[in-house]
Amino acid sequence: MTLLLIDSFDSYPTIMDIVQRGWSPYASGLPLFDTVIKKDGYQSLELQFNDAIFFEFSPLLAGRAYVSFWFYFDDDTQSANSEFLQLVNARNTEHCHVRLRTDLKLELRGQTGTDLGLVSSQALVKDTWYHIECVMKMTNSTTSGDFVLKVDGAEWLSSTGDDCQYSSYAGAVALQFSGPAGFDGAFYMDDMVIWDDSGSGDFSDAFMGMLRVSSLEPNGNGTTNNFTGSDADSVDNYLHVDENTHDTDTSFNESSTVTDVDLYAFDNSPGDVDTIHAVQASMWVKKDTDTIRGVKNVARVNSTNYLGTERWLANGEYVMITNVWELNPDDAAAWETADIDAAEFGIQITT
């Protein structure tokens, strides 16, 4: 399993910042963030009519794609069915996708809109958060794809061996999240998780359950503070990076020295956690000179620094750099709440 994205949408000042996470907004409509209608945290992703946003796999090669998110809509009188989750290829050819019908039931459809005759017996209700969970096994065949949809942990729809091939064209595969086709209102999404894997193991084992994505902010300096704060010292560095959404050049920590590390302590994780599937560290970074620079996320666990993947920086703009640790790097076991509460996270300049 390779986790590609863990997102509560809580760290973006503007919608265009989401591009730094691998998303691609659809040209004819840009999503919004909503701070009122949200599952938890600070904001959700809002999709209105004709809005769409893509997350691209490169490519998905006959494995499984998993996606889960909390879903909400605020209007129940619609004039057209709305396909809000689609698997598409590089030519924007639709493959299997989920549709919210005018009767507010969910429908699974196959490649290029094929009617599979799969409609839920239950209907959704407006102004209610639902946890949507899908696992798709894609093959380059019209007779061996699988697609299972769960709502609030219960299986609602299932397709096996139907025409839901991932691509007759060898291009990248993307998930597309779309706004309502015939609503006066909007769709809202929060706490999104996306991963892919090789497709091994029992298909049902792929489901993770009803997930919550918790966003934690720095609340203290860590063990090492080599960077200089925007107040010209290194005394209270965490105060420059503890906002919910980054404030660009208003406050920051900076360094130009290779091997410099800045670490921060974080708020405690929620106590009512069953299973922790992964920890994702995120940082907004800008390079303001022509010098070549690389950085790595750092997780400090049990007095040892563990480095993420090196990321190269473009000049003159903030980019979000992330690293996902599916297991605690200190013992290669599942994260526990106490591990996260005691850990520090930060940045190292590597080039």
Q: How many residues does the chain have?
A: 351
Question: What's the pLDDT at 1?
Answer: 67
pLDDT of residue 300: 98
- Tens digits of pLDDT across the chain (351 residues): 678 889 999 988 888 888 877 788 876 678 999 999 999 899 999 999 889 898 887 655 556 788 999 999 999 888 889 989 987 765 556 667 899 999 999 998 877 667 778 999 999 999 999 999 998 776 655 566 678 899 999 999 988 766 555 554 445 567 889 999 888 899 999 999 998 876 667 777 788 999 999 999 999 999 999 999 999 999 999 999 999 888 989 999 999 999 999 999 999 988 778 899 999 999 999 999 888 999 999 999 999 999 999 999 988 888 899 999 999 999 999 999 999 999 999 999 999
In a 3-state reduction of DSSP, which class is residue 343? coil
Hey, what's the torsion of the CAs at 192, 196, 197, 200, to 10 degrees? 70
Residue type, 339: D
Residue 88's pLDDT is: 72
Q: Which domains does the chain have, with CATH numbers?
A: 2-206 (2.60.120.200), 218-349 (2.60.120)
How far, in Å, CA of 17 to CA of 21, rounded? 8
The predicted pLDDT at position 163 comes to: 57
Residue with tokens 């599952």: 39
Q: How far apart are CA 99 and CA 104, in angstroms?
A: 9
Q: Which amino acid is present at 16?
A: M
Q: Give the pair of three-digit tokens for residue 213.
A: 């994505």
pTM score: 0.91
CA distances from 335 to 6, 269, 301 (A): 15, 11, 11
pLDDT at 132: 97
User: Looking at residue 164, what is its pLDDT?
Assistant: 57
Nearest to 147 by CA among 72, 84, 87, 211: 87
For strands 44-47 and 187-197, give the pairing.
antiparallel
Phi/psi at 177 (5° precision):
-110, 120
pLDDT of residue 165: 56
pLDDT of residue 170: 47
Provide, for the chain, the percentages of residues in helix, strand and coil under a 3-state DSSP scheme, each rounded to the nearest 5: 10, 45, 45
Residue 229 C-alpha from the chain's centroid: 30
